[in-house]
Amino acid sequence: MPATTPDPAPAVRHRSVIRSLLRLWPYVRPVRIRLGLSAAVAVVASCMSLLIPLVLKWMVDGPVHDKDTAGVWLGGGLLLLLGLLEAGLFGVRRWLVARPLAGVEASMRAALYGHLQRLPVDFHDRWASGQLLSRATMDLQILRMFLAFPLVFLVVNGATILIGFAILFAQAWLLGLVLLAPVVPLMIVCSYFETHYALAARTAQDQAGDLATVVEESVLGIRIIKAFGQHRSQAAAFRGQARGLWGTEMRKARLLSDIWAVIMTLPELAIGGALAVGVLQVADHKLSAGTLVAFLSTALALRWPVESIGFLLAMSNEAATAADRYFEAMDTPEADRSGTGDAAAGDGLRMTGVRFRYPDAPDGGPDLLSGVDLHVRPGETMALVGATGSGKTTLTALLPRLHEATGGRITLDGADIAGLPVARVRELLAVAFEEPTLFSASVRENVAMGAGPAGVTEADVERALAVAQCDFVAGLPHGLDTQVGEQGLSLSGGQRQRLALARAVVGRPRFLVLDDPLSALDVQTEALVEAALREVLRETTALVVAHRPSTVLLADRVALLSEGRITAVGTHAELLRDSAEYRHLMSGTADGAREESRAPADAAETDPAPAGAPQADSPLTDLPLERSEA
């Protein structure tokens, strides 16, 4: 189950709705003219409805009172014309904003996507994918709807209320004061509603992101769920998240129903009071019947602008929350990508005093890497060996700047990677990870991705597939054009790993980093891949994370990573002879402590073989040492 979203209450209670929404201005600015025109057209359309009561007043006090049939028909025609104008203008308003606001949503989504691609890996390690997905879809839809409707109608309804009350006071100032009586209670209720609804809206949107994460993980992990019979537990997790979201939505609905009840009741009471006072004034001949009809018609025309306050406040709060969530991701600083230098040729890969600790590591704890010094000579293949959790994969992630080192220096042919543009670093250096990730694309597209913007030819792709022993591609339904499906799960683990290896070598990189690239292969395929890979390694400078002796034998030298440092460097045979920890890692001995504590004299007594040769009962006896020394 994903981690629950932190309590958003402090941030929501101290944020300003207006300030949050004003952050949308850079995206809205290109369409500001059409948005302003749509608001102006909507105000004019709304004023059409306010003219209808004035026509009614003229008809009642004129043609109706004088029994003028022609005047009644004229008044009816004016009312029909005003109604048609109002409907037509609202249609024009909709036309003005539909396409531009869809463009605003698209530009914001593109900006978010581009920003997420440039953020460091540790950001993606902390954030659930469902939360990012909900920000890129649901939150942006909320913002588009706000810009298209609530934003415009906050302006339109505000203008309508002001113009309407001006007309009311011009007709009967005493009745206008009666209608203003609910203003203070309404302001108090709206303030209470805004505070509580903002918190509920933020909670609901965060819970929706958590629910999206549960669904995504269940879909991607469906094989594990089925294999272990965990469908009931996953269904329970889904129901728990869905029930929490349902409860929050019900709380929002109760808040909205409460404010609607108040907003609808108080104006109705005020209109009733104005009607009673107006009837008395008509009876006393202080007010004409037509004026009372026009006043009440205008008051009724203002019901929707007043009653919509609750609805518009709710949507404004949801939009402000969506904006906050959007900019939480956008405000995350990108990794430093500056740099104008370039790598020369001749020094290989060098690490000097490299340190690293994860941003969320406990304070006071040791660094994962505490001063790594390593030099891979030009054209050399170096194997990196270490116990599980020693930091091998993390060290390889520092080279393409997936993580930024917290100390020390990494150079490629003498150029500090911190001073190189990230794009240039990743042109020079290719990586094949232990966990191969493929995309919902064709085999060709997945492999060619390793060449970067330079692109590759069909011959390059074929060569890379041959190196990785991807002969299975010929048997796929459409060969290189076969779609591998999401995460490449239509292929076996070994097939995915071989395609990932082909992707790493297709661009003929100057530097190559392989993180245990053969772990999912059977013995026969592994031998074939090793033979082809040796040809590739002769043309590049490579660092290969190794867990098995067969992978170690691809390298010219071996580096042992232990306790955050490189503690030994040498050939395979030299480390077997000189390092008890290395012998333990390569032999798979269960009792590592016994290996570490064994004295050299004891080793000599139990190992009559020449120095550097493996124990007779060790799995290493089957490995030809001359291959490691070659």
DSSP-assigned letters across all residues of 256-287: HHHHHHHHHHHHHHHHHHHHHHHHHHHHTTSS
With residue 253 as reference, give the H or E element that holds it. helix 231-283
Mean per-residue pLDDT for 603-618? 38
- Give yes or no for residue 594 having a pLDDT over 70: no
pTM of the model: 0.64
- Edge-to-edge strand ranges of the sheet holding 541-545: 429-432, 511-515, 541-545, 381-386, 557-562, 565-570
pLDDT greater than 90 at residue 626:
no
Q: Quickly name the fold that domain 9-330 has.
A: ABC transporter transmembrane region fold (1.20.1560)
195-209, 501-515, 525-539: least confident range? 525-539
Residues in the chain: 630
Does pLDDT of 10 surpass 60?
A: no
pLDDT value at position 623? 41
* Predicted confidence band of residue 558 (pLDDT cuts 50, 70, 90): very high
Tokens coding 417 = 């990677």
With contact defined as beta carbons under 8 Å apart, do 305 and 164 qualify? yes
Q: What is the pLDDT of residues 437-495, one digit of tens each?
A: 888 888 888 888 887 666 778 888 888 888 888 888 988 888 888 888 777 777 887 88
pLDDT reading at 593 higher than 50: no
pLDDT at 409: 92
Closest CA to 202 of 318, 311, 331: 318
611 pLDDT above the threshold of 60: no
Is 90 exceeded by the pLDDT of residue 53?
no
Please compute the mean of the pLDDT values over residues 189-213 and round it to a whole number.
83
* pLDDT one-digit tens code per residue, 389-443: 888 888 988 888 888 888 999 999 888 888 888 888 888 888 888 777 888 888 8
Residue 97 has pLDDT above 50, yes or no: yes
HSE of 269 in the Cβ direction (CA atoms, 13 Å)?
12
324 or 95: which carries more pLDDT confidence? 324
Q: Could you give the CA distance from residue 56 to residue 71 in angstroms, rounded to a whole number?
A: 11
pLDDT of residue 355: 93
| Interval 604-609 mean pLDDT | 37
User: Do the beta carbons of residue 68 and residue 62 sit within 8 Å?
Assistant: yes
Query: What is the reported pLDDT for 337?
Result: 54
pLDDT tier at 363 (50, 70, 90 boundaries)?
confident
Determine the pLDDT at residue 261. Answer: 83
**Residue intervals in the chain for CATH 1.20.1560.10:** 9-330
**DSSP string covering 416-434:** EGGGS-HHHHHHHEEEE-S
Both structure tokens of 25: 């201005």
Instruction: Tell me what pLDDT residue 263 has.
Output: 80
pLDDT higher than 90, residue 502: no
Q: What is the pLDDT of residue 372?
A: 92
Confidence at residue 352, expressed as pLDDT on a 0 to 100 scale: 93
Confidence (pLDDT) at 6: 45
d(CA 504, CA 533): 11
Alpha carbon distance 580, 596 (integer Å): 5
Mean pLDDT (the chain) is: 79
Query: Which range, of 304-313, 337-346, 576-585, averages the lowest pLDDT?
Result: 337-346
Every domain range in the chain assigned CATH 3.40.50.300: 349-570
CATH code, residues 349-570: 3.40.50.300
Give residue 557's pLDDT: 93
pLDDT of 374 reads: 93
